[in-house]
Structure 1
Amino acid sequence: MNPRRKSRLTLVLFVLLGVAVASALVLYALRQNIDLFYTPSEVVYGKHNDPDSKPEVGQRIRIGGMVVTGSVQRDPQSLKVKFALNDIGPSVDVEYEGILPDLFREGQGIVAQGVLIAPTVLQASEVLAKHDENYVPPELDAQMQKAHKPMGISDQDLKGESERDRQQQTLQQGKPQ
């Protein structure tokens, strides 16, 4: 191989190596900052009911759902708050320390971002409150109806009464007063 070809080949190899290292560093940095979005049902059952797609303990995620009525517990000595989030299925508990948004309340839709510290417990670093939980664009409502009917989910479930709500009602009805 003549010296000119050898120097060109060396230059091309160094450029390719540099591009590969730069790409690897960018992908590593992005992996650290990506927070996948889950619903409470997806946290418990996995996306599309696939257990392999459940988030792992220690993973940073975003979770969106409705704050379960009666689940908000505030620590009077600090800014710590615990509450449960659900969609149409099981609930996920959220622990947060800080000032909650003004729109935060029971029955309100929120998005919490943080680290999963147990299979169904999120240690939130940020809580974002959504606006009116009753408004659903007609297109989305039609898609939800179409997607949930084959799964046997009733209109009652879609209107916000969750599995946990029904369990609590059953327990309350069974308690002597």
Structure 2
Amino acid sequence: MSAAETIRGPMIKPKHQRLVLVVLALVALVGAGLLAAWALSRQASYFYIPSDIVAHPPEMGRAVRLGGMVEKGSIKTMTDGVTIHFTVTDGKARVPVRFSGITPDLFVEGSGVVAEGRMEGTSFVADNLLAKHDEKYVPREMQNMSADQAKQVVAQTK
């Protein structure tokens, strides 16, 4: 052993130092990825359709999303004026939903809806409603135009 090695300890070759740094960086990267995946899995909100919820209900209190169509004739406003009860269907199954709050403007019977909330017993308690419009959306200004007129308006705005 040289005098320098006895004072500072054994020297590590630069090649080995780089290898140790690369291994430590990979371990840190994998650890951060696993931590992020664990955190996201705890916060994930799974999407269900009514037939999925009826066949395999999520655990009580777990945050989920329920998507489907609002059944015609099912919207009932309670006496408090804020709480509504309605039924979401996918044509195969029906799930009763309760929501307290202001509904979106597009929320009507027969329209698509995504309700965010949780199961309580056999009904779904929604904390938030997202109403969906149909694929044939047209701005009010263009509703009475023919397809050719609408194309001309769009071409002029470019």
TM-score (normalizing by structure 2)? 0.64
Q: CA–CA distance in 2 between the matches of 1:39 and 1:60?
A: 14
The answer to whether structure 1 residue 13 and structure 2 residue 15 are counterparts is no
Alignment of 1:69-80 (within 5 A): 69-80=72-83
Moved over 3 A (4+): 5-10
Residue correspondences, number: 126
Residue 130 of structure 1 aligns with which residue? 132
Q: CA–CA distance in 2 between the matches of 1:22 and 1:126?
A: 32
CA-CA distance at 1:100 after TM superposition = 0.4
CA-CA distance at 1:33 after TM superposition = 4.2
Q: CA–CA distance in 2 between the matches of 1:8 and 1:58?
A: 49
What's the CA shift string for 1:59-95, capped at 9, x where partnerless? 3222211222333232222522221111112211212
CA-CA distance at 1:123 after TM superposition = 1.9
The answer to whether structure 1 residue 91 and structure 2 residue 86 are counterparts is no
The answer to whether structure 1 residue 3 and structure 2 residue 5 are counterparts is no
Q: CA RMSD in A?
A: 2.7
CA-CA distance at 1:2 after TM superposition = 6.7
Q: CA–CA distance in 2 between the matches of 1:132 and 1:12?
A: 52
101, 105, 112: which one pairs with 2:104?
101
28, 36, 45: which one pairs with 2:46?
36
Q: Which amino acid aligns with 1:3?
A: I
Residue 81 of structure 1 aligns with which residue? 84
- Judged with a 3 Å threshold, the aligned counterparts in structure 2 of structure 1 residues 13 and 84 are, in CA distance, closer, same or farther, namely same
Q: CA–CA distance in 1 between the matches of 2:35 and 2:119?
A: 25
Residue 71 of structure 2 aligns with which residue? 68
Unaligned runs of 5+ in 1: 47-53, 136-177
Q: Which amino acid aligns with 1:112?
A: A
Q: CA–CA distance in 2 between the matches of 1:106 and 1:18?
A: 52
21, 33, 57: which one pairs with 1:23?
33
CA-CA distance at 1:16 after TM superposition = 2.1
Q: CA–CA distance in 2 between the matches of 1:12 and 1:117?
A: 50
User: Any idea what SS the aligned residue of 1:56 has?
Assistant: coil
